[in-house]
Amino acid sequence: MRYSRFGVLSVLFVCLFQMPVSFASEKKAIGWLEYVEIADSDLKLKAKIDTGATTSSLNAKIIKKFKKNGEKWIRFSIENNIGEEVLLERKVVRYVKIKRKLAFSLKRPVINLGICLGKIYRTQEINLADRNNFNYQILIGRNYLKNYFLVDSAIEYTTKPLCKEYNYNDNQD
């Protein structure tokens, strides 16, 4: 059986351009600003969605670094924009060196923390930082977003954290 070049090219064109569209349509579109909820608390934060950042970063006041069962742990507090505060303890997974233009590098602790955005709950590595000079307490990076979200920079606050309604463990990686 002979196929015309036009017929073969048409099939290839449809296959190539239909796959990304159908895959993309399964992802939730969110804005550049969204509300998130921190696991093990009822604390909701305004989050900046940052596709330029690989990992997420959370504004935290470091209270104490300590050892627990021979491992490094950290006690820290986080506060939302209306003054609600929560005290948390987490094991330090590692430290990351943050390079800055025209300034000294910073060493930040990295922890695993569960975050809810819309119906998606994910436990991710988050670096703890002093973000008091920033407008948003948490920055959500690509590692959290991949496979679940598309970011539309023209919109904001499209969803609210609903993970408790869907059981936190349903969407965990």
Kindly state whether residue 124 falls inside one of the protein's structural domains: yes
Task: Find residue 38's DSSP bridge partners.
Answer: 115
Which CATH number is 83's domain given? Answer: 2.40.70.10
pTM here? 0.76
Is residue 10, in this structure, part of any structural domain at all? Answer: no
For residues 150 and 3, give the distance between their C-alpha atoms in angstroms, rounded to a whole number.
38
Whether 23 is covered by a domain: the verdict is: no
Number of domains in the chain: 1
pLDDT in tens, the chain (173 residues): 555 554 444 443 444 444 444 444 588 899 999 999 998 888 999 999 999 999 999 999 988 999 999 999 999 999 988 888 999 999 999 999 877 777 788 889 999 999 999 999 999 999 998 877 788 999 999 999 999 999 999 999 999 998 876 555 545 45
Domain that holds residue 52: 28-171
Nearest residue to 56 via CA among 64, 65, 47: 47
144 inside domain: yes
- For residue 4, is it within any domain? no
**17 assigned to some structural domain:** no
